[in-house]
């Protein structure tokens, strides 16, 4: 006897509801955050105009790059990568299976979805274009990378040179005597436009080689998955481990040199003073004995201390040049270790030996000379692109963004001087279009001598937005929105963000997870097993609390956290995939790591004793904090 149609529909509805996250159109606004939408540009919001398409896509919250509520101006960073990534994937290199990544903001958090190439015919059409254009880059990689570094350095120099003029009572005499014909008011508008253009240009360069670099990794992963069924992802990743000096290790290496020099000069005690690092440096500058040390600090300051304590995507992720707390803690730690006779070197030799052993073992399993040749070519290409995959981060997210955030604060100063804002940091409550409008208004009223609307208007707006942002910060974002596909295979989603079919299923079942369970699963990112005491770090400002031999548990790591990896036994993160920062650095330091756990920071407390198995991706809570 057949099942009634009504029951079939009901069963289908239940199955559908079990296989999807909430629709973005059904998510409620947190109390006190009403009207949050008008802080952001319209094109970053879910819209009834595109509802059919938006409800059919799986959106996940971009916790790697944008884990926090976005102040309106901070959307500029993800707007820049949205355009750049999309056009290089879709229009320039024609990556066969992938278009760009779409973005939407919901309750202040960024959600993204990859846009796949849906038809096999379209993929086939794109393939020869990709082979020809990406092939040119692969064949000329070193030359193009050297050119890339020159372009980025020149772009940063241009940004540093941007002058942000004040709106003084009278313009410069030289406007007349030199016949300039342009006022400082217009130069202020021009300076803002140049700064915004510079940010978007930096991300054009950022994406120039990144995704085809990942494509080289992907070729190797796909070959290995077919040739060696069941091979773990982390074993493939280990085959391209650098074991040498990647650029994002350079700031950390400079700290180690400064620690060694401090001991050689006998000034370690002065560096250990209980005072602000900036005050200690000022004192050292008055001591002739310390002059070689302060000279060395000045020599490496630019650019190696232009290193963000976070990802660099938010204005409040200040860098070492703004706040020396993080590098100073590492510096003192290195001095302590040197005094104990410990080596500060990374285990590069062990990493390279393991890499070469794995390559030789798996190469020996291949049955034909043709297979071995393809394997060798894939290994060689992945190793060629590896430095760019990591080093570009220092140029863009760290060096460039440090200059950008500090440059843009100067425009906040102009609005404070004009009476539009009470503090320079309030400018970040305006999005980039609104900030341009406010500057134009300030310049126009300066030009005419008449009253502006900007003062009362923006002060009211900022006050209201502060309350909205505070309410949004109390909201816990859904990890994902929309229907769950049968399989998640988009390569960058898996490799960088760690969004896999299993991970999404874990999110779906998260409400049913027993918090008392002693095991947490994630991505096996770096091999080995370690036991130790957990140290949960939720913000870069807390990094100084990490003690020697502890296990780092955090939402995500940033390149400037490298000094911490010399102290810990293992790393565990909520977010990330095989090619995330925590995974790569752990492999280079020879530390076990499990990433992409989803909720480790919520289930583990500082003081808990853990076992981290980087071979299986399992974190076990052995005992709770006493």
DSSP state letters, 60-98: EE-TTT--SPPPGGGHHHHHHHHHHHHHIIIIIS--TTE
Strand ranges (E), 57-174: 59-61, 98-106, 109-116
Token pair of 159 as six digits: 């940004």
In angstroms, the Cα distances linking 221 to 140, 417, 498 are: 22, 56, 15
Of 576, 606, 603, which is closest to residue 510 (Cα–Cα)? 603
Residues 123-160: tens digit of each pLDDT:
999 999 999 999 999 999 999 999 999 999 999 999 99
CATH 3.50.30.10 in the chain is located at: 491-623
- Mean pLDDT computed over 73-98: 95
**Alpha carbons 565 and 255: distance in angstroms, whole number:** 14
Give start and end residues of each alpha helix (H) in 179-249.
184-208, 210-227, 233-238
Residues 319-364: tens digit of each pLDDT:
999 999 889 988 999 999 999 999 998 888 888 999 999 999 999 9
Residue 519's DSSP bridge partners are 620
Task: Give 16's pLDDT tier (boundaries 50, 70, 90).
Answer: very low
Number of H helices, E strands in the chain: 24, 12
Q: Are 260 and 338 in contact (CB under 8 A)?
A: yes
**What was the pLDDT predicted at 510?**
58
Q: What percent of the chain has pLDDT over 70?
A: 94
Q: What global pTM score does this model have? A: 0.91
- Mean pLDDT computed over 587-596: 89
| Average of per-residue pLDDT values in the chain | 90
Strand ranges (E), 4-130: 59-61, 98-106, 109-116
**What was the pLDDT predicted at 97?**
87
Token pair of 91 as six digits: 């229009």
Which residue bears the tokens 């092939």?
135
Task: Give 173's pLDDT tier (boundaries 50, 70, 90).
Answer: very high
- Mean pLDDT computed over 301-327: 93
**What was the pLDDT predicted at 491?**
62
Token pair of 314 as six digits: 């938010």
CA angle 255, 259, 261 (to 5 degrees): 115
Residues 492-514: tens digit of each pLDDT:
677 677 777 777 877 776 544 44
Task: Give 558's pLDDT tier (boundaries 50, 70, 90).
Answer: confident
Architecture of domain 491-623: 3-Layer(bba) Sandwich (3.50)
**What was the pLDDT predicted at 8?**
35
Residues 538-554: tens digit of each pLDDT:
877 788 889 989 999 99
Asked if pLDDT for residue 410 goes beyond 70, the answer is yes
**Alpha carbons 246 and 588: distance in angstroms, whole number:** 10
Of 43, 76, 165, which is closest to residue 428 (Cα–Cα)? 76
R_g of the chain computed on alpha carbons: 26
- Mean pLDDT computed over 183-198: 97
**What was the pLDDT predicted at 2?**
37
Asked if pLDDT for residue 252 goes beyond 60, the answer is yes
Asked if pLDDT for residue 168 goes beyond 60, the answer is yes
**What was the pLDDT predicted at 626?**
64
Asked if pLDDT for residue 243 goes beyond 90, the answer is no
**What was the pLDDT predicted at 516?**
47
**What was the pLDDT predicted at 13?**
38
Residues 24-57: tens digit of each pLDDT:
999 999 999 999 999 999 999 999 999 999 999 9
In angstroms, the Cα distances linking 305 to 205, 324, 399, 409, 546 are: 22, 9, 8, 19, 21
Q: What's 239's DSSP letter?
A: T
Q: Is 404 helix (H, G, I), strand (E, B) or coil?
A: helix
**What was the pLDDT predicted at 482?**
95
**Alpha carbons 203 and 198: distance in angstroms, whole number:** 9
The dihedral through the CA atoms of 133, 137, 140, 146 has a sign that is: positive
Asked if pLDDT for residue 467 goes beyond 90, the answer is yes
149-158, 199-208, 445-454, 580-589: range with lowest mean pLDDT? 580-589
Residues 474-489: tens digit of each pLDDT:
998 988 999 988 777 6
Residues 268-298: tens digit of each pLDDT:
999 999 999 999 999 999 999 999 999 999 9
Q: Are 25 and 55 in contact (CB under 8 A)?
A: yes
Token pair of 54 as six digits: 């938006």
**What was the pLDDT predicted at 299?**
98
Q: Are 525 and 234 in contact (CB under 8 A)?
A: yes
Long-range contacts of 460-466 (CB under 8 A, 24+ apart): 461/429, 461/430, 462/421, 462/422, 462/426, 462/429, 462/430, 464/35, 465/39, 465/72, 465/429, 466/429
Length of the chain: 626
């Amino acid at each position: 006897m057949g099942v009634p149609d009504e029951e079939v529909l009901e069963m289908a509805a239940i199955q559908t509801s079990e296989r999807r996250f909430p629709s973005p159109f059904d998510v409620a606004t947190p109390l006190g955050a009403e009207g949050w939408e008008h802080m952001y540009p319209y094109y970053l919001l879910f819209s009834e105009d595109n509802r059919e398409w938006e409800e059919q896509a799986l959106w996940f919250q971009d916790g790697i790059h944008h884990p926090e509520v976005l102040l309106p101006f901070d959307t500029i960073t993800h707007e820049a990568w949205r355009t750049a990534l999309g056009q290089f994937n879709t229009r320039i290199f024609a990556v066969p299976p992938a278009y760009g990544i779409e973005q939407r903001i919901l309750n202040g958090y960024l959600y993204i979805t990859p846009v796949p190439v849906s038809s096999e015919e379209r993929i086939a059409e794109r393939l020869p274009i990709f082979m020809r254009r990406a092939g040119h880059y692969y064949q000329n990689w070193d030359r193009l990378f050297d050119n890339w570094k020159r372009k980025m350095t020149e772009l940063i120099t241009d940004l540093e040179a941007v002058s942000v003029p004040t709106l003084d009572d009278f313009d410069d005499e030289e406007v007349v005597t030199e016949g300039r014909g342009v006022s400082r008011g217009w130069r202020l508008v021009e300076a803002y436009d140049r700064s915004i253009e510079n940010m978007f240009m930096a991300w054009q360069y950022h994406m120039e080689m990144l995704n085809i670099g990942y494509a080289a990794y992907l070729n190797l992963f796909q070959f290995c998955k077919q040739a060696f069924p069941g091979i773990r992802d982390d074993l493939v990743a280990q085959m391209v481990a650098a074991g040498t000096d990647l650029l994002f290790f350079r700031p950390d290496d400079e700290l180690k040199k400064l620690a060694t020099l401090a001991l050689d000069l006998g000034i370690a005690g002065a560096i250990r003073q209980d005072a602000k690092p900036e005050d200690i440096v000022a004192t050292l500058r008055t001591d002739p004995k310390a002059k070689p040390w302060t000279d060395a600090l000045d020599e490496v300051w630019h650019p190696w201390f232009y290193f963000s304590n976070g990802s660099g995507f938010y204005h409040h992720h200040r860098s070492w040049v703004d706040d020396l707390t993080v590098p100073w803690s590492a510096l003192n730690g290195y001095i302590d270790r040197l005094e104990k006779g410990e080596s500060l070197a990374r285990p590069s030799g062990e990493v390279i030996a393991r890499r070469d052993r794995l390559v030789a073992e798996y190469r020996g399993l291949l049955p034909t000379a043709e297979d071995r040749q393809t394997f060798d070519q894939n290994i060689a290409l992945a190793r060629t692109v590896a430095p760019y995959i990591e080093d570009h981060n220092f140029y863009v997210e760290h060096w460039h963004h440090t200059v950008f955030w500090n440059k843009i604060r100067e425009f906040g100063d102009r609005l404070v001087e004009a009476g539009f804002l009470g503090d320079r940091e309030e400018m970040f409550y305006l999005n980039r279009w609104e900030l341009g409008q406010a500057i134009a208004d300030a310049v126009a009223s300066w030009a005419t001598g008449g009253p502006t609307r900007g003062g009362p208007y923006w002060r009211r707006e900022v006050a209201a937005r502060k309350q909205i942002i505070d309410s949004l910060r109390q909201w816990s974002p859904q990890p994902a929105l929309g229907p769950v596909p049968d399989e998640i295979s988009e390569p960058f989603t898996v490799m960088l963000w760690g969004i896999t079919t299993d991970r999404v299923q874990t999110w779906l079942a998260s409400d049913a997870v027993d918090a008392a369970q002693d095991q947490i699963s994630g991505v096996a990112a770096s091999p080995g097993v370690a036991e130790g005491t957990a140290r949960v770090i939720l913000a870069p400002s807390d990094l100084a609390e990490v003690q020697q031999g502890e296990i780092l548990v955090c939402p995500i790591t940033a390149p400037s956290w490298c000094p911490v990896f010399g102290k810990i036994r293992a790393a565990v993160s909520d977010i990330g995939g095989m090619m995330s920062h925590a995974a790569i650095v752990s492999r280079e330091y020879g530390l076990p790591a499990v990433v992409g756990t989803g909720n480790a920071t919520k289930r583990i407390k500082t003081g808990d004793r853990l076992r981290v198995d980087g071979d299986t991706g399992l974190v076990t809570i052995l005992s709770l904090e006493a």
